Amino acid sequence: MSTAAEPARPDLVRPELVCPAGTPAALKSAVEAGADCVYVGFRDETNARNFPGLNFSRKELDEGIAFAHAHGAKVLVAINTFPRAGQPELWHRAVDDAAAMGADALILADIGLVDYAARRHPQARLHLSVQAAASNPEAIRFYAERFGVQRVVLPRVLTVQEIAALNAKIRPVETEVFVFGGLCVMAEGRCALSSYATGQSPNVNGVCSPAAHVRYVEQAGGITSQLGGFTINRFGPGEPAGYPTLCKGRFVADGKASYLFEEPTSLNTLGMLPDLIRAGVTAFKIEGRQRGRAYVAAVVQAFRAGVDAVLAGRPVPDLDLDRITEGGRQTTGAYEKAWR
């Protein structure tokens, strides 16, 4: 990690800060906190955060785009689930509406939908969602050459060195990487764990571990979380809790209860921003469209300060984000692969 003071770096490209918004109020918070771009979704299963009470109606998105543009920010619309076979109409309408509203880019995952958007809206800027799980030069070049995709959101499986090497091979295609928030340990776009327990997945229904299938049972000795009727974790009194997903469940193996897939923790790369900028990353993405305005404001402010500090040659400020992390813990994840 490089956090030492350095002189101002005009040679470095200023990365875009891409921030989440699940509601119009969160969009406003993100823009006011210094977001360059805000990514959002429609209030249906066309996006991978199809949570109850969340997301934008057509009217809200129209107003949101106007607000963002008036403040010099862009709006990227995530239409990043996979259409049900033979029923692509809802997804096609989402692409058409977002393009008509003047979205600055469409974030897509399904190759058929990418093809539809490229043919029907050749002027639209296309970003490849992390859900497409494109992580090698051949796959990325294919999307760029065949459909004109201009940016790819990289899966959270690569080290900083691997990202730098990848960038060198795929230019002028831009890369966007996650810098903060929840982590998926599975190959994104291909994880079916949630389906096994609930019949619904992020890939098609836009929701991992849907809230309708989650129950918390308070008992004297702590809280038990259940998903689809299966007990997946138990937290003692005062023990920090995590999301009720199977990948973050605590299971008994060899008589010992432990996190077999991943512990509840949040990605935080604030200290790695200089390395990621040097690796040639175009955009930094903050996860969390399902989180509240307070989260959006706190994280965007922290990363705005971090990016600006790096470009000004100052050390990255040591900002405490512990209180909003899952399980009260943070990791640099695959960017460092410290477990190797």
Partner 1 sequence: MRQAGQAAPPFSPVLLLGLALEPVRPSLLQPVFDAMLNLVRRRHPDILERMAAYADAVICIDPTDLPFALLLEPDPAAPRLTVRRDVDPAEVSATVRGPLETLIALAEGRVDGDALFFSRQLVVEGDTEVVVALRNAVDGAGIDLLEDMATALGPFGRPVRAVAGAALGLLSRLRRDAETLRQAVIAPAVQGAEIQSARLTELEAEVKALRRAARPARTARGQTA
Name the residues that contact partner 1, by CB under 8 A: 22-26, 28-29, 51-54, 210-212, 214-218, 220, 223, 235, 237-243, 264, 290-295, 298, 323-328
Peptide linkage before 122 cis (omega within 30 of 0): no
- Minimum CB separation from partner 1 for residue 245, in Å? 13
Instruction: State which residue, 56 or 116, has the beta carbon closest to partner 1.
Output: 56
Min dist CB 65 to partner 1, Å, is: 17
CB of 242 to partner 1, least distance (A): 7
- Our CB check for partner 1 shows the closer of 102 and 221 to be 221
Question: Which residues have C-beta within 8 Å of that of residue 320, sequence separation ≥ 6?
Answer: none
> Which C-beta is closer to partner 1: that of 53 or that of 255?
53
Smallest separation (angstroms) from partner 1 to the CB of 23: 3
When the beta carbons of 26 and 65 are compared against partner 1, the nearer one is: 26
Question: Do the beta carbons of residue 174 and residue 151 sit within 8 Å?
Answer: yes
Q: Nearest-CA neighbor of 241 among 220, 261, 266? A: 266
Q: How far does the chain reach from its first CA to its final CA, in angstroms?
A: 17
Nearer to partner 1, 175 or 209 (CB): 209
Q: How far is the CB of 259 from partner 1 (least distance, A)?
A: 15
State which residue, 142 or 259, has the beta carbon closest to partner 1.
259
Shortest Cβ distance from residue 153 to partner 1 (Å)? Answer: 22
Decide: 106 and 157 in contact? Cβ < 8 Å. Answer: no
Nearest distance, CB of residue 143 and partner 1, angstroms:
32
Nearest to partner 1 of 24, 88 (CB atom): 24
- CB of residue 218 to partner 1, shortest distance in Å: 6
Considering the complex, state which of residue 99 and residue 223 has its C-beta at the smaller distance from partner 1.
223
CA distance 142 to 95: 21
